[in-house]
Structure 1
Amino acid sequence: QEVVPYCLQNCTIHGKRSKRMKVLCYRQNLSEVPSYLPWNVSILDLSENQIASLRQNNFRKLSLLQVLNVSQNQIHLIEDGTFAQTSSIEILNLTSNQLRALSSFMFDGLGSLTVLLLRENNIDRIEPSAFAHLMKLKVIDLTSNKLHSLNALDVVFKVKSLEELHIRENEIIHFTTKDIVNVPLWLRELDVSHNPISFMNVATDALYRLLSLDLSFSGTHNHTTWIIQDPCFLKGLKRLYLGGTVMTPLDILDVVQKLNCSLLEEIHLNELNLTDSDNLIEKVCLWHQNVKTLNLQGNKFKSIKGIVFENCSHLWNLDLTHNRLKVVPYISFHSLNSLQSLSLAKNEFSDVPNATSNIISLKSLDLSFNQIKKIVPKDFANLRSLQHLNLTGNRITQISSDLFPDLHNLLELNLGMNFLLEISQPFSDSLGKLEKMELNSNKMSALKKGTFRNLTSLQFLSLIDNQISTIEPGAFEGLSHLQTLFLSTNKITKETFQKGIFQGLSSLVDLQLFENYISYETSEKLDNPPFILLRSVKYLSLNSQRKSGLQHFPSNFLQGLESIVKIQAGNLVISDLDPATFSYAPTLKELDLSSNPLNPISPALFRPIPKLTELHLHKIGLQSLDFVLHINFSKLVMLRVSENQLNVIEPKHIRALPYLTFLDLRQNPFTCSCDNQMFINWSLHDLETQVLYFYQYTCAFPLASKGRKLWAFHNSSCTVDHEFILFVANTAAVILLMVVCICYRWKKQGIYTYHLLLAYIHDKRYKRTGRHKKYDYDAFVSYNTQDKEWVMNELLPTLEDKYHWRLCLHHRDFEPGKCILKNIVDNIYASRKTICVITHHYLESEWCSKEIQLASFRLFDEHKDVLVLIFLEHIPNDNLSPYHKMRKLVKKKTYLMWPQEEEEIPLFWHKLNMALKTSEGKEDE
């Protein structure tokens, strides 16, 4: 079989090395099915595009395809034979297209198809043989089409293997079983809801095997007439949905009564405007004593009669959500001896209805979103079987240890979105089996010692969105089985991390602390690292600390996280990380440091985490991938460096990442030049690494190519070494020119050449002797006199007064009487770095040109990092062409651009300060 490159235009590949390979091409504005899809794709998603038709050759090579999603396109035509070679497809999703008719041969070849989704098309006609060869088809969804009658669906009912049919929203007015012939033997579920059915006639036993019939929200504005000629014509029915139908309570009772031959287990009577005066519940339970689920949500019950459920002793699930109940008589639920689930959510209770305490069999009680202000011990008395209690969205302000005396089997307790100010006493040991507790979105500011000590089985605890700033040491003691702790969106600060606050969490796996107020003044080691006791934690989230962000990251902040696998530390305003930071997390596999101003990033930072498989460095200001050259990234599978300042990806960067599967470089300012030739070819043809959405990358440089696609760069010219040819030609021309001009300008140029030679010898001597020179200045400033105002008013005060660097300026520090060139040479070599302030005036200056040439010796000969370029204004690429070395320098080295926006100026000074801090190491270091 043909081997397909990993990079596909407008698509991404997932699981290429697995048996179920996914190709995702959704939301790519495709007008047709791509022709370059890999032959071994198993799952293909082409949804949300502009595809108008499916053609015979679109899927010809995809014999292993099992799932095809082409929903939300503009498909109006599917050619006969389109699926002739795709016999493995099991699920076909054609939802939200513009199909009008299903032809006889449209689906030929889909012998393995089990699910066909055709929702939201314009289908008004299905030809007789459309499904003839679909021998395994179990589910057909024709919701929201234009099949106005059951006659139009005759071909559908002939699918012998059909188990589930959805024909809701098809403008069906008359439903009579006389129109249904050849009903599939295995048809179990029929959905005809949301149709304007005015006449419902069960005149034959065509649907006698049906298990579920959904007629909810059907009927016209006037009325729906039902005729059931024989109660046993629907004798197999177990689930009946009548919610939202245009029927009076008497009509509903009539229908339910006539179905007395059916062994109904679920009856859905939601949103029918029922009230307690309709006397409907008693009769439903009397006529159908097998009913286990009764759905009455969304009605208008204000109260319940004391005996309303006396015939419902067989009920398992009762849903009274979204009514107007305020009071329920004590004896109302007394007869519900088998009830396991009761929902009274979204009513108007101000107290827990005491009637619930009579249901001794109850396992789940939902009282969420009422107006309950307090709970007392008797509220849940006798509910010894209760496992799930939901009190979300009420107005509870206090809870105490004795509130749940009999809930010995409770597994889940939800008290979120209330007004809890504190937990004044520890939870009682009656909740010893509790596994999950939610206390999110309350008003708690502190957690006291021992609060959870009796919840020895708790595995999940959410305290998200409170105001917690104080956690007493020992607050979590006793939670030896807790695996997940959510403390996000609180007011936790560094002061919160007292010694021992995480004591007792020996089994904790997932800790979330994002959106708090954690911040440190320095990166120095902490005396009490906060996670020192969390040796089992695998997942830690610290993202987006509020106010000024985390900024400084203490070097031993992660100490104790011996099992950590994933750390999310994005958007924290971290500008520097100690190289030892991750030495405390040797098992780390996934790291996210996105949206932090970390550039430059030290390679030493990643050396302690050799097991890293995913690294996310989105939007950190990276200007080079050189950091990967000094680390053994032997297990790295995913590298995300989108929205940075990367211009060129060099071969050495690619070679340093041998096992990379996904590389995300979106929204970087790439240079369309021969420098990127190898990267472009590799991205297009590599079989192991996928450069995500590579075909969307655009050029930022040179300006003439700005906005063009990077992949379309014509690199044929790169095969000829034009630079060498030009070099030879220019050298010959320069020599000839020098011979002509040497006599005319001998004195001036001779002096210059002499000092240039001295600088070269000076540089070579220090390189040879290896002596370490002590510098008089931190930086020599090379600038044109017309830019003196910016140098004196901006650069000088900031670097000397604020950051305390020693600068050398020619008008201030040159030795009077000494030759200018001698002054330049001596002071450049007496300074650690040279700062060139580049403008159009600078490029036109003869002396500035000499200064940058002299300063370049150390950079181009010894590769010392001694040159810092500051562009005060935009210099087009063409304008740099005469300055060949400077042009290459701008392509390869860090340079700074004076920002136009005032709010970006502090970041500019920070970057310049960091550039002056770097030592003289090799360029690649």
Structure 2
Amino acid sequence: TMGHLLAFLLGLVFKATSVYGIPSCSADGQLAFYRFCNLTQVPQVPNTTTKLLLSFNYIRVVNATSFPLLDQLQFLELGTQNIPLTIEREAFRNLPNLLVLDIGNTKIQFLHTDAFQGLFNLVQLQLYYCHLSDSILKDGYFRNLSSLAILDLSRNEIENLQLHPSFGNLESLKSIDLSLNHISLICKRDLEVLQGKRFSLFNLASNNLYSKVSVNWKECMNPFKNMSFEILDVSSNGWTVDIVRDFCHAIQGTRISSLLLNYHIMGGGFGFHNLKEPDQDTFAALGMSSVIKMDISHGFIFSLNFHLFETLRELKVMNLSHNKVNKIANGAFYGLDNLQILNLSYNLLGELYQSDFAGLSKVAYIDLQRNHIGIIEKQTFKHLKNLQTLDLRDNAIKTVYFLPSVHTAFLSGNKLVHIEENINITAGFLDLAENRLANLNDLYILLQIPDLKFLILNKNRFSFCNQQYGPSKNHTLEQLYLSENMLQLIWEAGKCWDVFKRLSHLKILFLNNNYLNFLPPDVFSDLTALQILSLDGNKLISLSPGVLPENLRVLSLSQNHLLSPDPTVFASLSYLDITHNKYICECEARNFILWLNQTKVNMLGSPEDVYCTYPDSFSGVSLYSISTEGCDEEEALQFIHFSLFIFFTTTLTVFLTAVVTFTRFRGCCFLLWRKMFLTLALEYHPQGVKEDQHKYDAYLCFSSKDFEWVQNAFLNHLDSQYSPKNRFNLCFEERDFLPGEDHINNIRDAICNSKKTICIVTRHFLKDGWCIEAFNFAQSRYFSDLKDVLIMVVAGSLSQYQLMKYPPIRVFVQRQPYLKWPEDLQDVGWFLNKLSQRILNKKEEKKKSNNIPLQTVATIS
């Protein structure tokens, strides 16, 4: 059965682990934990025990001698035995101070009528699902239980309520649960012994009460006469409109604070008319019962008819969810003068009209989520002056012009495509997640709402920005959620970088999953109160120092593309999550690895989730286990070894070549030296090319393996043949070298016919012999003409010591500054303007400046 299966599954759980901090089948003085111990009788436990757990065992009998004297025991769990249980006379007499007795979910084979005698302090008795019959109520089992307040008899086999007179003496009794039995009829005579009592809960749910029998209410009369209830649960009994009407008429005058009529069969549903809809008479008799809360959810009500609740003038909470409501008649809520909460969620409403909520003058919360609402008249909620919270989640709304001035509005999961300008609303909490907003200008509009504190815009479609408003006029916004949008497309186009300006009170900002690979300069500069920032799930490679607000305390950067972060960026944080990134575990990351092991910042996530991805030999290894010892020595030794190798190889080669050449061609060497001297003198001195006669503005020297990147990064934005708006006439090998001509002559002609030579130094450049030769030739012109004719641009992750390995480059670096390709895309425009000034040999160049579309420029690795 389902009960045995549940017991088996629970058994697996409890066997696997200890509970309450002590191992199974033991006691620690106050707690005795003996679940699943295969016991056949009650074990000996200390007399100081206050809680004894004995469920899931094989105890067959408990009698007056089963328990030792445990005068401090307050809680006894004896239920869910694996075999039928017999409880004999005064079985618990040695437990005089017991407060809670749980025998639930056990088949009781025999229960003596004096089994519970002596439990004068018992407050709660659990007898659910014990296969008990009517005798448990009529034979006086609960005599003398003067402190009993809670009695659970649910899921038994009780058919009739014939209560023993001793129930009248249970003065503390406040809660009776009789749900899931077989009680088909209750009349006045059945509960006479309970008259005069007030119950916090009286549960008669799921009994098929009154639905399977014919009731003569004149003879049966009010079963709850002279009784009162905080909660009366008569749900899940299969009640139709007629049964509800007759029941309410029979119990009129009985005071009930909360009436549960849910899981009914009132209403015809959508497209059916065989069952009645509730009408003006259905609940009319409840007007004298002072009902404050009423639940008629989970049914088939299709239409809320005229004056349906007119007598329920004290009602404050109404739950109509999970019906089939499609129509609200004019005046349906008439009479609900004190209603504060109305739940109409999970219905079939498609349109809302101005008259729908008439009469709800005090309503503060309306729940309309999960309907099909697409059209709402403008004044529908305007007249509800006390409305504070409006929940319209998961509908089909396309505009917010109807929105009243409320404190809290839930509109997520709708079809909003834009926000109307000059919207006249005031709200402290606004949820617009999972809509179709695409223009970030809508956020600027929302930030004009004066008292807005919480704004949720997750899972929209923000991907462009036609900005029509300036920065925010809101000085109260504290939390902003923009997760799972496409801000990268907006920011890489150079748009709306000021979206967070003036938000000086913002404390929490979520920007996760926005495809971000850079952050605009000073984008967070005005967020002086920001404490929590989430950038999870983006594509950030690095963060520049100073990009984060000074007061930031919690930063989440999980699942980005961080390679080797600068630890100074995180210095002021209290909590940091940098798990699941793409860290490079080489000596360049030494400072970051050292910081990671020494920082006082609280690192969120598991250390195993901060792992290397490069080189392959360290892939998956935690950064916390990487050692940086030997990085300094390794770099120094590599540089020395390489320098010595180059020096000795070059010296030996030159010496041998000179000896052989001079020996065999002494005469020719002299003539060749004389000719070269005259040629160089002619080329690089007054008879050479004049400044204004150069064919090219600059010769762009780079490795052919970098052509695609150089084309996107430089040629598209500088060369006049690529675009008419570009001003420079550049020379480069793939286009301007003469085919068939000697390569060294092509290089020499390019350098001589260009005002400047720009060498794009990358890893491929350093491995290309022609590139090194061109660099050497250009540098010789620098020393000959004594002009700044050579510009070096370093791109990619090349360190200083790697550049110093090559003598021509080392000589240049020691004498001249060089340019470095920026890591952040927002700096590319500035860099190209600076390079243009170097080509023109001017401090500033404002004429015909280049506008650089950042989306076309990538970062070389």
Indicate the TM-score class for this superposition, using the shorter chain for normalisation: 0.7 to 0.9
Please say if 1:542 is aligned against 2:454. Answer: no
- Could you report, residue by residue, the CA deviation over 1:219-243 in whole angstroms, capped at 9, with x for unpaired residues? 38x9997895665232332322111
Please say if 1:498 is aligned against 2:420. Answer: yes
The correspondence for 1:318, drawn from 225, 228, 232, is 232
1:402 alignment partner, SS class: coil
1:381 alignment partner, SS class: coil
Between the aligned partners of 2:205 and 2:94, the Cα distance in structure 1 is 37
Between the aligned partners of 2:550 and 2:582, the Cα distance in structure 1 is 28
Shifted more, 811-820 versus 324-333: the winner is 811-820
Gaps of 5+ in 2: 1-12, 268-276, 662-672, 674-695, 780-787, 810-818, 826-851
Between the aligned partners of 1:675 and 1:227, the Cα distance in structure 2 is 85
Between the aligned partners of 1:677 and 1:568, the Cα distance in structure 2 is 35
**Partner residue, 2:117:** 205
**Partner residue, 1:388:** 317
CA contact (8 A) 2:303 2:329 kept: no
Please say if 1:812 is aligned against 2:711. Answer: no
CA contact (8 A) 2:307 2:331 kept: no
1:574 partner amino acid? L
**Partner residue, 1:299:** 207
CA contact (8 A) 2:294 2:317 kept: yes
1:663 alignment partner, SS class: strand
CA contact (8 A) 1:621 1:644 kept: yes
Please say if 1:249 is aligned against 2:152. Answer: no
**Partner residue, 1:219:** 131
- State how 1:812-831 maps to structure 2 within 5 Å: 812-814=735-737, 819-822=745-748
Between the aligned partners of 2:210 and 2:718, the Cα distance in structure 1 is 75
The correspondence for 1:644, drawn from 560, 564, 568, is 560
The correspondence for 1:732, drawn from 626, 644, 656, is 644
CA contact (8 A) 1:778 1:805 kept: no
2:580 alignment partner, SS class: coil
Please say if 1:338 is aligned against 2:260. Answer: no
Deviation at 1:819, TM superposition (A): 3.6
Please say if 1:622 is aligned against 2:540. Answer: yes
Provide TM-score, normalisation by structure 1: 0.68
CA contact (8 A) 1:102 1:130 kept: no
Between the aligned partners of 2:57 and 2:399, the Cα distance in structure 1 is 58
Please say if 1:568 is aligned against 2:474. Answer: no
CA contact (8 A) 2:345 2:369 kept: yes
Instruction: State the percentage of identical aligned residues.
Output: 22
Between the aligned partners of 2:318 and 2:778, the Cα distance in structure 1 is 74
Deviation at 1:675, TM superposition (A): 4.0
Gaps of 5+ in 1: 1-70, 77-91, 751-774, 871-878, 896-911
CA contact (8 A) 1:568 1:593 kept: yes
Please say if 1:446 is aligned against 2:375. Answer: yes
- Could you report, residue by residue, the CA deviation over 1:136-170 in whole angstroms, capped at 9, with x for unpaired residues? x5x6666556666557996698261x544444323
Please say if 1:515 is aligned against 2:434. Answer: yes
**Partner residue, 1:272:** 181
- Could you report, residue by residue, the CA deviation over 1:652-685 in whole angstroms, capped at 9, with x for unpaired residues? 233xx32x22111111122334444444444444
Alpha-carbon distance change, 834 to 554 in structure 1, aligned in 2, over 3 angstroms? farther
1:244 alignment partner, SS class: coil
The correspondence for 1:101, drawn from 13, 19, 25, is 25
Alpha-carbon distance change, 820 to 612 in structure 1, aligned in 2, over 3 angstroms? farther
Alpha-carbon distance change, 777 to 341 in structure 1, aligned in 2, over 3 angstroms? farther
CA contact (8 A) 1:367 1:390 kept: yes
Deviation at 1:918, TM superposition (A): 8.9
- Could you report, residue by residue, the CA deviation over 1:592-651 in whole angstroms, capped at 9, with x for unpaired residues? 11111221212411111121111100111011122xx12463321111000111122333
1:582 alignment partner, SS class: coil
The correspondence for 2:550, drawn from 634, 641, 644, is 634
- Could you report, residue by residue, the CA deviation over 1:824-847 in whole angstroms, capped at 9, with x for unpaired residues? 769999799959796xxx997534
Alpha-carbon distance change, 430 to 789 in structure 1, aligned in 2, over 3 angstroms? closer
CA contact (8 A) 1:555 1:581 kept: no
2:519 partner amino acid? I
2:630 alignment partner, SS class: helix
The correspondence for 1:485, drawn from 409, 418, 423, is 409
CA contact (8 A) 1:833 1:916 kept: no
CA contact (8 A) 2:138 2:164 kept: no
- Could you report, residue by residue, the CA deviation over 1:812-866 in whole angstroms, capped at 9, with x for unpaired residues? 144776844457769999799959796xxx997534677899999xxxx9xx996
**Partner residue, 2:302:** 373
**Partner residue, 1:583:** 501
Between the aligned partners of 1:156 and 1:832, the Cα distance in structure 2 is 97
CA contact (8 A) 1:431 1:454 kept: no
- Could you report, residue by residue, the CA deviation over 1:551-596 in whole angstroms, capped at 9, with x for unpaired residues? 5484858734321111111110221443311004221111111111
Deviation at 1:429, TM superposition (A): 5.7
The correspondence for 1:188, drawn from 99, 104, 113, is 99
Deviation at 1:348, TM superposition (A): 0.8
- Could you report, residue by residue, the CA deviation over 1:695-724 in whole angstroms, capped at 9, with x for unpaired residues? 442221221111222212233334x53312
Between the aligned partners of 1:147 and 1:802, the Cα distance in structure 2 is 91
CA contact (8 A) 2:258 2:291 kept: yes
Between the aligned partners of 1:393 and 1:319, the Cα distance in structure 2 is 18
1:513 partner amino acid? L
1:692 partner amino acid? G
2:526 partner amino acid? P
**Partner residue, 1:690:** 603
**Partner residue, 2:683:** none
Alpha-carbon distance change, 781 to 846 in structure 1, aligned in 2, over 3 angstroms? closer
Higher RCO (C-alpha under 8 Å, 6+ residues apart): 1
Between the aligned partners of 2:759 and 2:35, the Cα distance in structure 1 is 68
CA contact (8 A) 1:210 1:234 kept: yes
- State how 1:23-34 maps to structure 2 within 5 Å: none
CA contact (8 A) 1:211 1:236 kept: yes
CA contact (8 A) 2:579 2:610 kept: yes
Between the aligned partners of 1:558 and 1:177, the Cα distance in structure 2 is 80
Between the aligned partners of 2:754 and 2:69, the Cα distance in structure 1 is 90
Deviation at 1:332, TM superposition (A): 2.0
Deviation at 1:191, TM superposition (A): 2.4
Between the aligned partners of 1:74 and 1:319, the Cα distance in structure 2 is 38
CA contact (8 A) 2:91 2:116 kept: no
Please say if 1:285 is aligned against 2:191. Answer: yes
1:595 alignment partner, SS class: coil
**Partner residue, 2:283:** 356
1:333 alignment partner, SS class: helix
1:610 partner amino acid? T
The correspondence for 2:703, drawn from 735, 758, 782, is 782
Shifted more, 720-729 versus 150-159: the winner is 150-159
Deviation at 1:423, TM superposition (A): 1.2
Provide TM-score, normalisation by structure 2: 0.73
- State how 1:223-242 maps to structure 2 within 5 Å: 228=139, 231-242=142-153
CA contact (8 A) 1:593 1:616 kept: yes
**Partner residue, 1:723:** 635
Alpha-carbon distance change, 73 to 584 in structure 1, aligned in 2, over 3 angstroms? farther
Give the superposed CA RMSD. 4.9
Between the aligned partners of 1:323 and 1:366, the Cα distance in structure 2 is 14
Between the aligned partners of 1:312 and 1:177, the Cα distance in structure 2 is 33
Between the aligned partners of 1:684 and 1:792, the Cα distance in structure 2 is 42
CA contact (8 A) 2:96 2:121 kept: no
CA contact (8 A) 2:458 2:484 kept: yes
- Could you report, residue by residue, the CA deviation over 1:71-114 in whole angstroms, capped at 9, with x for unpaired residues? 979446xxxxxxxxxxxxxxx735xx9x44114xxx26xxxx8x
2:556 partner amino acid? R
Between the aligned partners of 1:777 and 1:815, the Cα distance in structure 2 is 17
Alpha-carbon distance change, 100 to 652 in structure 1, aligned in 2, over 3 angstroms? closer
Figure out how many residues of one structure are paired with residues of the other and give that number: 727
